[in-house]
Amino acid sequence: MSGKVLVQSRINGEDIAFLCDPRQSLLEVLRETLGLTGAKEGCNNGNCGACNVIMDGVLVNSCLVLAVEAEGCAITTIEGIAGPQGLHPLQQAFLEHAALQCGICTPGFIVSAKALLDRNPAPSEEEVRHWLAGNLCRCTGYDKIVRAVLAAADVMNEDAGMSVRAGQDQQVGW
Amino acid sequence: MQEFAYVRPRSVAEAITLLEQEEACVLSGGTDLLVQLREGRRRARVVVDIKFVPEVSTLRFDPERGLEIGAATPCWRIAGDPVVSRIYPGLVDAVGLVGGVQIQGRATVGGNLCNASPAGDTIPALIVHEAACVIAGPNGWRELPVEQFCTGPGRNALERGELLVSLRLPSPPAGFGAGYLRFIPRNEMDIAVVGAGAAVVLDESREHIERARVALGAVAPTPIAVAEAAAFLAGRAPTAENLSEAASIASRAARPISDMRGTAAQRTHLAGVLTRRTLERAVERATGRGV
């Protein structure tokens, strides 16, 4: 009764047009129409954060956005996080700190952490934990994830010649 | 998810015409609506995305006229606004508790209010900040005090074709302080077992409360204003005894049910504890000692 709608968005820096039903979520279209399967469907109701993407600079659950709402928006998915030089420092830190086990939640965590570091390049441990409260992980117990995010922030700040965390307690965990 | 049409009105008048249709639903942040549609708890033939109506997406503060929050303004814009954070601390307490960061990226205060959950965190905060609902409909515009907006769990005062356009919060006078607190068994990401909002206006000497507002969430079919507690505080000193007495009055005004989140007895107790703590926070802020 409602027909397909043509939507134009900028996804991971590329202008993309797609057709969708008004009832389809952005997550559904990313995965099933555009083949961007990094964002995961966990709960499909906004509790788990596995589908998180950055939409016009704002972190959102892509399961709670209609694909038609993406018209004219810039969207970054996990596929757009790595640069031409290779892995993003967050991705590298997740590997080095073994911040994942089964991996289902990882794309959501990395996208969330990217949104945090874009806004706050030197977060405290508490700020990291607070920011990531909407991402669920059933394997790691979160400590390694928090450690990886803080380590990535340090690497990025060193690369940028900053020492914003100097003087802060960098001990994390128990 | 069920099939529906999606429309993007650009004016209040256009939105109202669309909302007069059978099974038309307002889409604001979508964090409640999309879940309800997916679970079949609501039916929609047409989804009306109001975010492109200018009056509905505004966030404007004027010292004379106060704060105007467009109904589709997402939580992050309110919490991230330094002026709003300073002048409306009770609202900002509550907005920061609505889901996690990614929910706050989409969810709106207008949506939280229209969803009319008894436990909606922003509603007691809006009540203590004396918010008025600005409503447009087929028969014109009207204003309604926010404490009259929710009529039952999931039900609100909007008639068919009506749209909540914005919320108007008056500019607080000197000596004003407010806060919102809730109890949840976890640290984050939960639904209030009880929520309490409070606001006070202290006189020039800062030794007496000129007037106060107290509101509770999750202890009745709708969030409630506790006028008896406010009346007790008016003219009294903000002492520990007086704040405790106001808290007892609030506790007695609670009419909670027992459910999976807590028993009626626990909620009645919590209503008192949270009212006292929120009043203390409001008084601290009013005297410039609070954060």
Chain A residue at shortest CA distance from B44: A23
- Summarize pLDDT for B109-145 with one digit per residue, the tens: 999 999 999 999 999 999 999 999 999 999 999 999 9
Question: What is the CATH number for A29?
Answer: 3.10.20.30
Residue B187 pLDDT > 70? yes
- Are B85 and B125 in contact by the 8 Å Cβ rule? The answer is no
Contact flag A24-B1 (C-beta cutoff 8 Å): yes
Residues A76 and A19 in one domain: yes
Higher pLDDT residue, B155 or A172? B155
- Which CATH fold would you assign to the domain B176-286? Enolase-like; domain 1 (3.30.390)
- Summarize pLDDT for A122-164 with one digit per residue, the tens: 999 999 999 999 999 999 999 999 999 999 999 999 988 765 5
One-letter amino acid identity for B222?
T
CA atoms within 13 A on the CB side of A3: 3
- Domain count across chain A: 2
Residues A74 and A9 in one domain: yes
Enumerate the residues of chain B whose CB falls inside 8 A of the CB of residue A66.
6, 27, 30, 34, 47, 49
Q: Is residue A23 included in any domain, yes or no?
A: yes
For chain B, the domains span 5-52, 54-169, 176-286
Q: Which of A62, A80, A98 lies at the terminal end of a domain, its last residue?
A: A80
pLDDT value at residue A2:
56
Chain A residue at shortest CA distance from B102: A60
- Are B49 and B27 in contact by the 8 Å Cβ rule? The answer is yes
**Options 3.40.50.300, 3.10.50.40, 3.30.43.10, 3.20.20.150; which CATH number does B5-52 get?**
3.30.43.10
Q: Which of A50, A80, A110 lies at the terminal end of a domain, its last residue?
A: A80
Residues A63 and A99 in one domain: no
Average pLDDT over residues B50-77: 97
Contact flag A64-B187 (C-beta cutoff 8 Å): no
How far apart, in Å, do the first and last CA atoms of chain B sit? 44
Q: Is residue A141 included in any domain, yes or no?
A: yes
**Options 3.30.465.10, 1.20.1250.20, 3.40.630.10, 3.30.2350.10; which CATH number does B54-169 get?**
3.30.465.10
Residues A118 and A59 in one domain: no
- Are B147 and B127 in contact by the 8 Å Cβ rule? The answer is yes
Residues A75 and A115 in one domain: no
For chain B, the residue count is: 291
Note down the domain range covering A36: 5-80
Confidence at B186, pLDDT banded by 50, 70, 90 = confident
Q: Is residue A65 included in any domain, yes or no?
A: yes
Confidence at A39, pLDDT banded by 50, 70, 90 = very high
One-letter amino acid identity for B167?
L
pLDDT value at residue A170:
42
Average pLDDT over residues B92-100: 94
pLDDT value at residue B221:
96
- Summarize pLDDT for A75-130 with one digit per residue, the tens: 999 999 999 989 999 999 999 999 999 999 999 999 999 999 999 999 999 999 99
Residues A95 and A43 in one domain: no
pLDDT value at residue A164:
53
Beta pairing, strands B5-7 & B163-169: unpaired
- Are A29 and A19 in contact by the 8 Å Cβ rule? The answer is no
Q: Is residue A171 included in any domain, yes or no?
A: no
Q: Is residue A164 included in any domain, yes or no?
A: no
Enumerate the residues of chain B whose CB falls inside 8 A of the CB of residue A63.
34
Q: Is residue A170 included in any domain, yes or no?
A: no
Q: Is residue A172 included in any domain, yes or no?
A: no
A34/B contact by beta carbon, under 8 A: no
Contact flag B189-A59 (C-beta cutoff 8 Å): no
Residue A172 pLDDT > 90? no
pTM of the model: 0.93
Residues A94 and A74 in one domain: no
3-state secondary structure of B194: strand
Smallest Cβ–Cβ distance between A66 and the set B3, B6, B189 belongs to B6
A45/B contact by beta carbon, under 8 A: yes
Enumerate the residues of chain B whose CB falls inside 8 A of the CB of residue A64.
29-31, 34-35, 103, 106
Confidence at A24, pLDDT banded by 50, 70, 90 = very high
ipTM (interface pTM): 0.93
Average pLDDT over residues B206-229: 97
Confidence at B289, pLDDT banded by 50, 70, 90 = confident
d(CA A150, CA A121): 10
Sheet of strand B194-202, all strands in order from the earlier edge strand to the far edge? B176-183, B194-202, B209-217, B224-225
Residue B21 pLDDT > 70? yes
Average pLDDT over residues B70-75: 97
Average pLDDT over residues A59-82: 98
pLDDT value at residue B190:
86
Question: What is the CATH number for A134?
Answer: 1.10.150.120
Residues A93 and A75 in one domain: no
Residue B228 pLDDT > 80? yes
Q: Is residue A166 included in any domain, yes or no?
A: no
Tokens of B213: 């507002």
Mean pLDDT of chain B: 96
Contact flag A64-B47 (C-beta cutoff 8 Å): no
d(CA A143, CA A149): 10
